[in-house]
Amino acid sequence: DAGITQSPRHKVTETGTPVTLRCHQTENHRYMYWYRQDPGHGLRLIHYSYGVKDTDKGEVSDGYSVSRSKTEDFLLTLESATSSQTSVYFCAISTGTGDFLSGANVLTFGAGSRLTVL
Amino acid sequence: QQQVKQSPQSLIVQKGGIPIINCAYENTAFDYFPWYQQFPGKGPALLIAIRPDVSEKKEGRFTISFNKSAKQFSLHIMDSQPGDSATYFCAASGRNNFNKFYFGSGTKLNVKP
């Protein structure tokens, strides 16, 4: 998937435990994203990053934190997992030119990480 | 509150039919509207995209129709095939932050042989 690796791909954990999902890219893109996918809600943006140490909140950021200490890695952390955070999590990178007029911004997604919180 | 509203939630058509998926938005700052296709167990992938300076864009059997005044856009799949069975998402991004994308809730399409 275009140089994006998510880990772990599957995880089962218990309520109250911390969880970290990792997204690694090999192509040095500036923008990275974390989405969650739930039936009936589609893809909802959790957090995104526009550079090392530069992050911003998305639509559903409560209960999640992110870090980006290197261009290639974007980490999503659930400090204390809850059952409502059971979901499939997708990392994405923006592989467009960044040119507003060209409309060439393309999100390329990883294969997803399925998280179950019991 | 969902920024992009998508319907229907699911759709079943016969092979050769023309499924239509509709999306609507309110934010007039949106000016880039991509569609993504997702097969089971995979991440979504860009299918086709449109900007509001045109009313229609066609790529192969996939067509986006865009109605700027109504703030609506739709995906049409001509001569649909069983291999088109997937979940389709519309999305939008805007002039004020063109790297921030908002997605619809998705439409699960089943094309029967």
Option in A42, A48, A111 nearest B100 (CB): A48
- Domain enclosing residue A69, as ranges: 4-117
Q: How far is B79 from chain A (nearest CA, A)?
A: 26
State the total domains in chain A: 1
Measured between CB atoms, does A55 come within 8 Å of chain B? no
Q: What's the N-to-C CA distance of chain A in angstroms?
A: 29
Q: How far is B113 from chain A (nearest CA, A)?
A: 26
The residue among A30, A94, A105 with the most chain B CBs within 10 A of its CB, best to mutate, is A105
In angstroms, the CA A53 to CA A34 distance is 15
What superfamily does domain B4-112 belong to in CATH?
Immunoglobulins (2.60.40.10)
Instruction: Give the β-pairing of B107-112 and B10-14.
Output: parallel
Is A3 or B10 the better-scoring residue by pLDDT?
Answer: B10
Q: How far is B19 from chain A (nearest CA, A)?
A: 19
Please choose, from the candidates A58, A42, A60, the residue with its C-alpha nearest in 3D space to the C-alpha of residue A50.
A58
Give me the mean pLDDT over the B38-47 stretch: 94
Phi, psi of A83 (to 5 degrees): -65, -30
Task: Report pLDDT digits (tens) over B53-100.
Answer: 889 999 999 999 999 999 999 999 999 999 999 999 999 988 777 678
Task: Report pLDDT digits (tens) over A20-49.
Answer: 999 999 988 889 999 999 988 899 999 999
CATH code of the domain covering residue A93: 2.60.40.10
Please choose, from the candidates A23, A27, A30, A24, the residue with its C-alpha nearest in 3D space to the C-alpha of residue A46.
A23
Measured between CB atoms, does B39 come within 8 Å of chain A? no
Tokens describing residue B77? 């799949």
Chain B residue numbers touching A1 (CB-CB < 8 A): 43
- Residue numbers in chain A where pLDDT is lower than 50: 1, 98, 100
